[in-house]
A and B are shown apart, each in its own frame.
Chain A
Amino acid sequence: MVDRIADPWGPRTPYGPGERWPARVDTFLSAGHTEADVQRWVPSASILHSNGDAMDIAVVDDRIVGVRGRAGDRINHGRVDPKDLYGWQANHSPDRLRRPLVREGDRLVETDWDTAMGRIVARSKELLDGPGGWGHFGFYTSGQLFLEEYYTLGLIGKAGLGTPHMDGNTRLCTATAAAALKASFGTDGQPGSYTDVDHCDAIALWGHNVAETQTVLWMRMLDRRRGPNPPAMLAVDPRATPVAREADVHLALRNGTNLALLNGLLRELIHRGWYDEEYVRAHTVGFDELCRVVEDYPVAKVAEICDLPARDIERAAELLGRSQRLVSTVLQGFYQSNQATAASCQVNNLHLIRGMIGRPGAGIYQMNGQPTAQNNRECGADGDLPGLRNWENEEHVAELARLWNVEVDTIPHWAPPTHAMQIFRYAEQGSIKLLWISATNPVVSLPDLARIRRILAKPDLFVVVQDLFLTETAELADVVLPAATWGEKTGTFTSVDRTVHISEKAVEPPGEARPDLDIFLDYARRMDFRDKDGQPLVKWSDPEAAFEAWKECSRGRPCDYTAITYERLRAGGIQWPCTEEHPDGTERLYTDGVFNTDPDYCESYGHDLATGAELLPDEYRAKEPRGRAFLHATPYQPSPEVPSDDYPLLLTTGRTVYQFHTRTKTGRAPQLVHAAPEVWVELNPADAGTLGVGEGDLVRVESPRGAVRARARICGVRPGVVFLPFHYGYWDAADPAGPGGPDGGAADRGAGRRHDRAANELTITAWDPVSKQPIFKVAAVRVVKEADSGGRPSPAPTVGGSAPPEGSGIPATVGGPAAEAPSRGE
């Protein structure tokens, strides 16, 4: 038995390069149950992070009692992340929404589906009547629905209402991955495969605390590190995360300076001849311009911008330059930071100039944060066109119009699909009048929350929220629709490395809650959306038929699903593209060095990465890409907000291994709640000393936008930087004296609350010019001590990035008997 709270990564199963990663089957069943009792095992995969770990849901008497990893699955070989081991218990939480709610004055009251949907449809028809009616609708969806739901929603939005105002919270998590892949390789689509970890001789983690965000991928890396001929490891992160502590070289750079570091590293590699001239000549465009831009970043200058020892930058360049099979992974430290797309493209450049792409061990993972983010990108509910089509390519739009049997100009293709922050801006200005939010909680996850609350509370904005619980966002809604979740509905989703899994319905949803797909289909029926021939626009009524329709949409595109069926997925995950020609799927893209940059095939004609200015189709054609990848190069610019005399510290936000997003689910699983119950703030010992703050002291972190109160953990974050986990909102802020406690009784719409618990009270409204991903990692703040700890340590976990220094005497985070779970090796 393993306490997977005390040890989230479980026992090691070391292996060597080129060997198969040994299986280890992790199981957790609720107290009193054994595998022998389980009546049904229902195939599924993780919905609490993006790794795509396959598992079976254990069912006894039509109730979920636990999960077990699938030993034969290509991704996890049986392992299960602690969030998945325990997180399913949230399905049974007594506060699940069971009936629709509608606003009556200041209150939300229970009602039936007819009344709730009737209100949405009446408002929709009223708004749609008249020119520009499409412009009054906004949809803000998720990275946690299923493929079938995104595709259906995308069709409703683009061909039913004809609105470009549809995006997902994927904008906060994975938009830069998509933007960087499009910019370098022509289309979205992850080049690498998780099996690259089995073959590599070096791993570089760029702003990616994989140990806490994708624990199973980290287990694979750790097993290679403990086996023969382990890969070297480089970590770039301002915090002393488990990844940074494991790495051979850790660059704890100043937040917001990623691009300067990458420009400097590329310069070193080029100067020292550590690049593949032949590959560059045959397969890339733009090497001379890349050399010209990076020339301006000698090590000494980069050391100063990033506040790093020059010798460490050189060591990093040596580690990268001497590798033969390099795996790079990129995540929020880059995506949610300054110059996100430009910095992420430099990671692609590093692989391109070294020819390290498209072969075993040489892989790039431009990661996702959320489990189904990839599908939102593919299916077009997030600001892309379905099938990774190019909205500026008239033939691509015409293909969609033929497929959907609608007029071409019904589909909004006159300008880029509206990104999330702009949707909220239009709502703020009043031109968007109906905002439909599904499976996400922007009142905790978007930047500058005071502003988001103000927008959603506007009386002239009709807000629909579709969720499992009465979230902080749902409290502000006009109509709340109770949704079914993982285990209660069927659908498919796709991991970072393009592996598609099926997740089947195991049990009935509670009360009158409905699958998200059924809700969207019901809306389409009630709105009576029609195609050109007067037939219903949406021609399916169940998940499998939606999947079959999507397959046609994906045909011939990079994400081709045409040879995948539900039946085949029941046997295990399959990587797209999967076609008649490649019926078993495709492990790696670009094995022949031919990229998706052909002007008729590419997903974007490209941007200037510094401003986001779009290039015109003819300018793109003039580059004559002929299947070569683009090497983009951009000079470093300081971030929009830098420290000042008033706000001398830099805030970065992030995650713990025990929680996911705004804790809608993980905050309702006892083991996970116990491990990370309350917000904390991390300070470096030197800064803490200056401020007179000790372990556990209550401090106030202030930015020009708000304040957060939290108990301090003194640990390994870099000097000058303050870290807050972004998970903690207000729904469970129970301690009246603690952060978020009500200071005047909890009135409706959360009006009586003190808003001092969510990290995003402090963050800035700013975004990357290309990916439009908000910048969460760079805000100027000050820290003020409020109260002594009284000997009580911070609630921060002792596992992960918030681990205290050795010998601190702080009690270790453990789960005890309630968290014990077997891990069976081969």
Chain B
Amino acid sequence: MHLAHYLGLLHKAQNRLGDAFTEIGEAHRDEPDIFHTCQRLAGQCRGHAEKLAPFAHRYAEDAPAEPDRLHSQLFSGTRSGGLGLLRDLQDLYLMAAECDISWAVVGQAAYGARDEDLLAVVKSCEQETAIQLKWLRTRMKQAAPQALVAAE
């Protein structure tokens, strides 16, 4: 059973997203809404990872060795300025999108494994990830015209 690998993928992706929210929020402290919201969402991501941990652990017992090229690297440090903010938010968006689709995949597997407990975790967390994506899209749409057209 390969479910453990996807749980591991999602677990790591959630932790990395949490770290990126923290780092990007700190880097853009002068944008208070970015700073405060990123801090909150970082906590949310770590909460997701914690909820996944016992399942990852349990399914790991039945899993073969981890395949190559399982994890992806979507973020490699913050940038500054208006354009930099936009790019940083875009990194977060892609990372959150990875989590979003992984929740869908893990949810399907939870049905297959008849694992009601895992399904409950997926259902509560995937909604929060969906809101994270919406927030990022909202904030990027707001910032884009000024950063890309008006700013020098």
> Which residues from chain A sit less than 8 Å from chain B, CB to CB?
131-132, 134-136, 414-416, 418, 421-422, 425-426, 428-431, 608, 610-615, 637, 640, 764-767, 769
Contacts and interface: CB of A to CB of B under 8 A. Distances in A.
A613 B138 contact: yes
Contacts of A615: 134
Nearest to A131: B149
B108 interface: no
Given A429-B151, A614-B138, 9 more contacts: A136-B150, A414-B141, A415-B141, A418-B146, A429-B82, A431-B82, A431-B152, A608-B134, A614-B137
B46 to A, nearest CB: 15
B71 interface: no
B142 A637 contact: no
Nearest to B134: A613
Q: Counting chain A CB atoms within 10 Å of each CB, which of B82, B131, B132, B135 scores highest?
A: B135
B144 interface: yes
A416 B142 CA distance: 7
A576 to B, nearest CB: 31
A614 B134 CA distance: 7
Given A415-B141, A415-B144, A415-B145, A613 B150 contact: no
Contacts of A425: 30-31
Interface of B is mostly: helix
B115 interface: no
B150 A640 contact: no
A415 B140 CA distance: 10
A769 B144 CA distance: 18
Nearest to B82: A429
A321 B41 CA distance: 36
Contacts of B40: 610-611, 637
A615 B40 CA distance: 20
Given A135-B150, A136-B150, A612 B135 contact: yes
A639 to B, nearest CB: 10
B32 interface: yes
Given A135-B145, A415-B142, A431-B150, A765 B32 contact: yes
B133 to A, nearest CB: 8
Contacts of A613: 131-132, 134-135, 137-138
A431 B151 contact: yes
Nearest to A611: B135
Contacts of A764: 32
**7 pairs of A and B residues whose beta carbons are closest in the complex:** A135-B150, A132-B149, A613-B134, A613-B135, A431-B151, A132-B150, A611-B135
A415 B145 CA distance: 9
A399 B60 CA distance: 60
14 contacts: A136-B150, A418-B146, A425-B30, A425-B31, A426-B146, A431-B150, A431-B152, A611-B132, A611-B134, A611-B135, A612-B33, A613-B134, A614-B138, A615-B134
Given A415-B141, A765-B32, A769-B33, A135 B151 contact: yes
Given A415-B145, A766-B36, A608 B135 contact: yes
B72 to A, nearest CB: 24
A614 B141 CA distance: 11
B20 to A, nearest CB: 16
Contacts of B152: 430-431
B150 A134 contact: yes
Nearest to A416: B142
A613 B31 CA distance: 16
B103 to A, nearest CB: 17
Contact of A610 (B131, B141, B145, B151): B131
Contacts of A136: 150
Given A430-B152, A611-B135, A135 B146 contact: yes
Contacts of B145: 132, 135, 414-415
A242 to B, nearest CB: 34
B132 to A, nearest CB: 8
Nearest to A608: B131
B131 A135 contact: no
Contacts of B81: 429
Nearest to A164: B145
Nearest to A451: B30
A414 B137 CA distance: 13
A430 B137 CA distance: 24
Contacts of B134: 608, 611, 613-615
A336 B149 CA distance: 33
Nearest to B133: A613
A765 B33 CA distance: 9
Q: Counting chain B CB atoms within 10 Å of each CB, which of A416, A426, A611, A640 scores highest?
A: A611
A134 B141 CA distance: 17
A131 B41 CA distance: 36
Contacts of A134: 150
Interface string B78-91: 00011000000000
Contacts of B36: 640, 766
Nearest to A137: B150
Contacts of A418: 142, 146
B142 to A, nearest CB: 5
Nearest to A764: B32
A495 B53 CA distance: 56
A214 B146 CA distance: 40
Contacts of B149: 131-132, 135
B117 to A, nearest CB: 19
Contacts of A614: 134, 137-138
A769 B141 contact: no
B92 to A, nearest CB: 13
Nearest to A639: B36
B131 A611 contact: yes
A614 B135 CA distance: 7
A769 B37 contact: yes
A418 B141 CA distance: 12
Contacts of B82: 429, 431
A612 to B, nearest CB: 7
A414 B148 CA distance: 14
A564 to B, nearest CB: 36
A765 B40 CA distance: 17
Contact of A612 (B30, B138, B146, B151): B138
A430 B150 CA distance: 10
Nearest to B151: A431
Nearest to A616: B134
A612 B37 CA distance: 10
Contacts of A132: 145, 149-150
Q: Counting chain A CB atoms within 10 Å of each CB, which of B81, B137, B141, B142 scores highest?
A: B142
Contacts of B151: 135, 429-431
A608 B132 CA distance: 10
Contact of A431 (B131, B132, B138, B146): B146
A726 to B, nearest CB: 19
B69 to A, nearest CB: 32
A135 to B, nearest CB: 2
A411 to B, nearest CB: 14
Contacts of B150: 132, 134-136, 426, 431
A607 B138 CA distance: 10
A432 to B, nearest CB: 8
